[in-house]
């Protein structure tokens, strides 16, 4: 009996111990796949892909995807400050002069290239020049070049008009397509060009007449060398000269003579006219074409000569005393200033003044030496020095 009681008590204690252990366990839940522990061997089973709602590990600044929400500013956030230089922007400016055979336009090209270099450095952008100029004056060719430049996507165009009537339609078409044009030297005032850079041609003509009348002591027969009859800038100079002549009753005009704008054609014209009219005592040249070659005035001496432009060849005539006065244009500025105005317009939205005139330099035997060095720069002879 005692043995049976002992066995019963032992069984009862064992059952209680089992119930106590069962009461300490947590309820069963759906198991999740554990992450691989740090330093786990490569043979360990890789964890299952995280569900769509799992958080994405933080990325370093160098590898954050651009389209992640964390990289986009909030709708009401202030815009991030960007560079003021516009780094990476590229602009092409087309430059169309009257002719490549005229050295004044070589100076304009030099100025345009220099402006592109300076503006690129100033604003951290890339400005290039697309030079498209006929070998000799040809307004139709200029119009074709203008249309070609627009089709290639240039940012703006700098243009000297051989014939404003021919070029106005092309300038207007460019404007309608969002390409601004600035004229230099010879304007197209009835077009949609946004600005003009050059001297006041009418005033230049007046000044030439004043200078020639003074040289002739207010009396004598003169002739005007006029170049291209369709060039609006030259016609304005002639108009100014004729109007000023009314103030000099002793001056008589033989005629205005036109020719192709090359040195040989100009020399042939003055020699022909002077030979037929030996009474001509003075020449008023609204352009310096015959002075671009040597010995051009030998057959018209001793006629007095006043002219426009101050190229080195022309300065030589002043130095020798065959030309008494030159009125010099800022030919380098034709390229430099117009390219600058165009880039300021397209890059900084800065509109240029419509008419940008300058007073020409007056060159005589007294100050001619000062201008030789200037032209070395304008013709690019100082490049690399």
Two structure tokens written together for 280: 């001509």
For 329-357, write each residue's pLDDT tens digit. 999 999 999 999 999 999 999 999 999 99
Question: Are 338 and 195 contained in the same domain?
Answer: yes
Question: Are 166 and 250 contained in the same domain?
Answer: no
Beta-strand relationship, 355-356 and 156-159? unpaired
Question: Are 284 and 142 contained in the same domain?
Answer: no
Instruction: Tell me which residue of 30, 28, 27, 171 sits closest to 96, measured CA to CA.
Output: 171
Question: Are 161 and 235 contained in the same domain?
Answer: no
Average pLDDT, the chain: 82
Report yes or no: 198 and 233 within 8 Å, Cβ to Cβ.
yes
Question: Are 161 and 268 contained in the same domain?
Answer: no
- Indicate the pLDDT class of residue 86, thresholds 50, 70 and 90: low
Question: Are 206 and 324 contained in the same domain?
Answer: yes
- Indicate the pLDDT class of residue 382, thresholds 50, 70 and 90: low
For 181-214, write each residue's pLDDT tens digit. 999 999 999 999 999 999 999 999 999 999 999 9
Q: Is residue 58 part of a domain?
A: no
In angstroms, the CA 270 to CA 223 distance is: 9
Residue 282: other Cβ atoms inside 10 A: 21
For 275-325, write each residue's pLDDT tens digit. 999 999 999 999 999 999 999 999 999 999 999 999 899 999 999 999 999
Question: Are 206 and 322 contained in the same domain?
Answer: yes
Residue 147: other Cβ atoms inside 10 A: 14
For 125-142, write each residue's pLDDT tens digit. 999 999 999 999 999 999
Question: Are 266 and 282 contained in the same domain?
Answer: yes
CATH number for position 317: 3.40.50.2300
The residue range of the domain holding 215 is 201-328
Question: Are 145 and 229 contained in the same domain?
Answer: no
Report yes or no: 187 and 222 within 8 Å, Cβ to Cβ.
no
Question: Are 189 and 306 contained in the same domain?
Answer: no
**Close Cβ partners of 120 (under 8 Å, ≥ 6 residues apart):** 126, 127
Question: Are 195 and 297 contained in the same domain?
Answer: no
For 156-170, write each residue's pLDDT tens digit. 999 999 999 999 999
Question: Are 262 and 172 contained in the same domain?
Answer: no
pLDDT at 66 over 50: no
pLDDT at 384: 54
Domain count, the chain: 2
Q: Is residue 19 part of a domain?
A: no
Cis omega (within 30 of 0) for bond into 302:
yes
For 203-242, write each residue's pLDDT tens digit. 999 999 999 999 999 999 999 999 999 999 999 999 999 9
């Amino acid at each position: 009996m005692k043995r049976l009681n002992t066995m019963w008590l032992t069984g009862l204690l064992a059952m209680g111990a089992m119930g106590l252990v069962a009461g300490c366990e947590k309820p069963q839940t759906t198991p999740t796949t554990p992450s691989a522990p740090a330093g786990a061997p490569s043979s360990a089973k890789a964890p299952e892909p995280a569900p769509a709602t799992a958080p994405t590990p933080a990325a370093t600044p160098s590898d954050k995807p651009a389209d992640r929400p964390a990289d986009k500013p909030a709708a009401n956030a202030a815009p991030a400050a960007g560079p003021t230089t516009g780094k990476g922007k590229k602009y092409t400016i087309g430059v169309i002069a009257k002719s490549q055979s005229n050295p004044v336009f070589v100076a304009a090209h030099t100025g345009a290239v220099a402006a592109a270099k300076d503006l690129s450095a100033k604003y951290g952008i890339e400005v290039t020049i697309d030079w498209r100029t006929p070998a000799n004056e040809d307004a139709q060719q200029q119009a074709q070049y203008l249309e070609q430049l627009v089709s290639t996507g240039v940012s703006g165009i700098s243009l000297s008009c051989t014939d404003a009537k021919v070029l106005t339609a092309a300038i207007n078409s460019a404007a309608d397509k969002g390409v601004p044009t600035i004229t230099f030297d010879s304007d197209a005032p009835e077009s949609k060009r946004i600005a003009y850079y050059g001297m006041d041609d009418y005033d230049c003509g007046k000044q030439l007449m004043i200078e020639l009348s003074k040289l002739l002591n207010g009396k004598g027969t003169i002739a005007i060398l006029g170049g291209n009859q369709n060039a609006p800038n030259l016609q304005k100079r002639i108009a100014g000269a004729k109007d000023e002549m009314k103030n000099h009753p002793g001056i008589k005009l033989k005629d205005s003579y036109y020719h192709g704008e090359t040195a040989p054609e100009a020399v042939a014209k003055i020699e022909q006219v002077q030979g037929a009219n030996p009474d001509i005592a003075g020449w008023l040249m609204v352009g310096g074409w015959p002075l671009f070659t040597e010995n051009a005035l030998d057959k018209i001496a001793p006629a007095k000569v006043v002219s426009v432009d101050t190229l080195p060849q022309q300065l030589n005539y002043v130095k020798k005393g065959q030309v008494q006065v030159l009125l010099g244009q800022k030919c380098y500025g034709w390229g430099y200033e117009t390219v600058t105005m165009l880039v300021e317009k397209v890059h900084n939205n800065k509109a240029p003044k419509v008419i940008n005139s300058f007073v020409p330099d007056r060159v005589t035997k007294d100050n001619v030496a000062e201008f030789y060095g200037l032209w070395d720069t304008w013709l690019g002879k100082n490049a690399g020095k």
